[in-house]
Structure 1
Amino acid sequence: MTSDSSIIAGLDTTRLARIGEHLQSRYLEPGKLPGTLTLVARRGEIAYLDMRGQMDVERDKPVQRDTLFRVYSMTKPITSIALMQLYEQGRFLLDDPVHKYIPSWKNLQVYKAGVHPTFMTTAVSRPMTIRDLLTHQSGLTYGFMNRTNVDAAYRALKLDGGPGLTLERLIDELSRLPLEFSPGSAWNYSVSTDVCGYLVQVLSGMELTDYFVEHIFRPLGMTDTFFTVPADRIDRFAACYQYKPGDRFTLQDDPQQSNFTRAHGYLSGGGGLVSTVDDYYRFVQALANGGELNGARIIGRKTLEFMHMNHLPDNQDLPTVSVGSFSETPYEGTGFGLGFSVKTDVAKSQTNGSTGEYGWGGMASTNFFIDPVEDLSMIFMTQLIPSSSYAIRQELRAIIYGALVD
């Protein structure tokens, strides 16, 4: 039995301490991860905050609470909220064809055969809609999928990011490339959310970074979230590492030399942000509160509920409709909403949790979830590519849900 003094917001802190013990013995001491930062909150109260290991192994710098992490695809929910803010203003409807706002996309085609730049294509069965973009049912893809001749074209054109890429050039190149499938007929993780970021610019008349600051970051007090790390904060910026066989890692991005530290021109709504655990927690807690934090509302309660419903056809889960093998969430028992994964079947997922839990992760193994049933949330920060290296996300859920006492 534990004393009441070890209970915070209905969570047993002695059981939550297993998180740090697990990460230390299973990942940090064996040299599988450089460092970790874990935050667990319930009912608006932080119940557990744990920092360990190194943010920069080469410079022997420990993880600190204010360490800046590349959140990569955890940018996607922020971009999705931004776009749905504009939905709440009547600027567009979800079933609007994308070409209504991007005219050059009016005659998109579906891949049939061939290799870049010579493709055989066929007509789409229906136009791509904005909901297709928000749910990754657009037919777009990522170059790193390494699965088809279409994603090979993305790699050839460096559309996953690289020198000289801008949102405008991405949109222009995509207007000439075939889709993987007709919109709405399948699910594939993709640059769709980057296109959502472009639509935020078109609909608002503001550059994406300025829109984020004015309508999300400043209202929530997120002063440490950027597309480009300011010069005076580079000393807080973590190094990023690449998994290598044998459960080891090697330096992938030196924070002193990183593209994230200089203006690069590509405002990636799909993966471009750097943030701290406290900044991202402000965003997560606003969502957990139904769209507001400390009196600042960034999205309506019903709009947010709409966003974390499963929007896949007939309430199916990802394995049923996905054509690719990659996602930032385990597939089984998981659907997809407007910018988030959504747990639809706890037993099928084989991971403890609640129906309706939603969240997402990033390429460097960061992750967050929000459980509206338990009013519970978690943010996990580290910097190891790819996110599929270890099953930490599922292990953390097992420990966290095991700590609930009321």
Structure 2
Amino acid sequence: MRHLKMFALGLFALFAAPLALTPLAQGPHIAPAPVRMKAPDRGGRDLAAASPESVGISSERLRRLDGAMKKLVDDKQVAGLVTLLERHGKIVDFNAVGQRDVKSGEALLKDSIFRIYSMSKPITGVAMMMLYEEGKWRLDDPVARYIPEFAKLKVYTGKNEDGSPKLEDARRSMTMRELMTHTGGLGYVLNANNPVDKMIIDGNVLNARAPLQNMIEGLSKIPLLAQPGTRWSYSIAVDVQGYLIEKFSGQTFADFARTRIFEPLGMKDTAFYVPKDKLARFSEVHTGAGATLAVDANRPDPAFVPLGPSGGGGLYSTASDYARFCEMLLEGGQLNGVRLLAPRTVEMMRTNHVNPDPLKTMAPGTGWGLDFQVVMDAAAAGDSVPNGTFTWFGIAGTWFWIDPVGDLAFVGMVGHQSLQTTRAIHGLSRSLVYQAVMD
């Protein structure tokens, strides 16, 4: 519980603006915005190491990226970083610098294992879309069709004079599309000052020691933040998706992810826990900077095997594993002849599905696909990535982006609890990657 509240405070620093819940377009439904680019089906590529010049990147300029990451470690802004850049199916830059644990002083390695937190969400989204392709559900189906407990949800509208919550009936069920775009009205663990989020936190709804059915039962008793389809708010929706994956597939969520995604893609170090024989490679989360840089002792045991794995934030992974996931999406749903999704399905995931107005404060120029953030206007975003890039990050600093225009993907791994620091690193990495691209 202490960890959950700390997680909430950290995320609140980033998402305070969206929690104002700016209304979306008029009416209960959200029309998809017309940002769409054909997902490539490039054929199997091996992710072998290659020279930067062989894929149109200047090795001399790329050294600026490696130098900047090293300086962050030398200045004790973070304990260590692993970065991986791939283009045209080749890995052209892969470096580890710093320590996995400043207490022990052990070196960070390229295969170090990190808590990736919300970088779990795109993986959960891919699992959902695999089941979508099997005909298990449709985008505009009501969620209550599959989760009857959500059939009669209430919506929080304020407080009564006695301080009790003022509620109204939900006018309709949230749809599956809304569940995958954070527009269903669900709360999260972002803001303990928000009455709905506080109910989720105090109710220990995200409890890894209980099955996912318990989460559903808990959420069924907690009101929505808003009427479905009227507002965008980062939410517990992806954890709900984990429950639906179990219901649709007949497998546990962890088993589905392992047998249908991780093993086929060769993601050998990705799981909802770190096996004991791999703990020597586990990279701790740190806090502070300079003389105060230290291991954060308030994190869950990485070796704990969850009964209710979190689709929104429960995975551990490595840079090379996550790069394989990114390459699968970059190739239109396949990797080395193993196909998880059709190209059109990947295109649908990375197409904006919401009115982007509420995102302007948090991230100008972006929208939201199916469990991804999508860059719609690179100039407004003030970033080097082109339109059509899809991306996200984890609360402890891990980050990635996939650029289908430049046929490029980047994965960064770090364990540091300071959004101010890590978000600055994310922007720096994007600038330093694209200044090295020569075509």
1:140 Cα deviation after fit: 1.3
1-structure distance, mates of 2:59, 2:285 = 30
Find the partner of 2:409 among 377, 399, 406. Answer: 377
2:314 paired with 1:282: no
2:156 paired with 1:111: yes
1:334 touches 1:345 (CA, 8 Å); kept in 2? Answer: yes
Report Cα offsets for 1:227-278 as digits up to 9, x if no partner.
Answer: 111111111111111347x895432248xx8422122322101110001111
1-structure distance, mates of 2:364, 2:292 = 28
Find the partner of 1:294 among 336, 339, 349. Answer: 336
| Map of 1:343 onto structure 2 | 375
2-structure distance, mates of 1:169, 1:118 = 24
2:396 paired with 1:359: no
2:429 paired with 1:402: no
| Map of 2:26 onto structure 1 | none
**What pairs up with 1:7-406 in 2 under 5 angstroms?**
7-25=53-71, 27-114=72-159, 118-161=164-207, 164-243=209-288, 248-253=292-297, 258-313=300-355, 316-320=356-360, 331-390=363-422, 391-406=424-439
1:35 touches 1:54 (CA, 8 Å); kept in 2? Answer: yes
2-structure distance, mates of 1:31, 1:103 = 51
1:383 Cα deviation after fit: 0.3
1:215 Cα deviation after fit: 1.0
2-structure distance, mates of 1:169, 1:386 = 31
1:19 Cα deviation after fit: 1.1
2:103 touches 2:294 (CA, 8 Å); kept in 1? Answer: no
Report Cα offsets for 1:161-206 as digits up to 9, x if no partner.
Answer: 46x4432211111000011111111111111100011100011111
1-structure distance, mates of 2:331, 2:419 = 28
Letter in 2 for 1:337: G
Q: TM-score, normalised on structure 1?
A: 0.91
2:186 touches 2:237 (CA, 8 Å); kept in 1? Answer: yes
Secondary structure class of the residue paired with 2:95: strand
Runs of 4+ in 1 over 4 A off after TM superposition: 115-118
1:334 touches 1:344 (CA, 8 Å); kept in 2? Answer: yes
2:273 touches 2:304 (CA, 8 Å); kept in 1? Answer: yes
Structure 1: unaligned runs, 5 residues or longer: none
1:166 touches 1:266 (CA, 8 Å); kept in 2? Answer: yes
2-structure distance, mates of 1:196, 1:388 = 29
Structure having greater relative contact order (Cα 8 Å, sep ≥ 6):
2
| Map of 2:37 onto structure 1 | none
2-structure distance, mates of 1:22, 1:307 = 33
The total of aligned residue pairs comes to 387
2-structure distance, mates of 1:377, 1:248 = 33
CA RMSD, aligned part only?
A: 2.0
1:394 Cα deviation after fit: 1.0
1-structure distance, mates of 2:138, 2:380 = 33
Q: Specify whether residues 247 and 302 from structure 1 end up closer, same or farther in structure 2 by C-alpha distance, changes over 3 A only.
A: farther
Q: Specify whether residues 226 and 275 from structure 1 end up closer, same or farther in structure 2 by C-alpha distance, changes over 3 A only.
A: same
Q: TM-score, normalised on structure 2?
A: 0.84
| Map of 2:33 onto structure 1 | none
1:243 touches 1:389 (CA, 8 Å); kept in 2? Answer: no
2-structure distance, mates of 1:20, 1:97 = 48
Q: Specify whether residues 210 and 6 from structure 1 end up closer, same or farther in structure 2 by C-alpha distance, changes over 3 A only.
A: closer
Letter in 2 for 1:100: R
Report Cα offsets for 1:88-142 as digits up to 9, x if no partner.
Answer: 1111111111111111110011101239994221122321111111111111122
2-structure distance, mates of 1:150, 1:209 = 28
Q: Specify whether residues 369 and 117 from structure 1 end up closer, same or farther in structure 2 by C-alpha distance, changes over 3 A only.
A: farther
1-structure distance, mates of 2:430, 2:291 = 22
1-structure distance, mates of 2:359, 2:191 = 16
1-structure distance, mates of 2:241, 2:163 = 26
1:160 Cα deviation after fit: 4.2
- Quote the sequence identity (%): 36
Structure 2: unaligned runs, 5 residues or longer: 1-50
2-structure distance, mates of 1:207, 1:150 = 28
2:77 touches 2:421 (CA, 8 Å); kept in 1? Answer: no
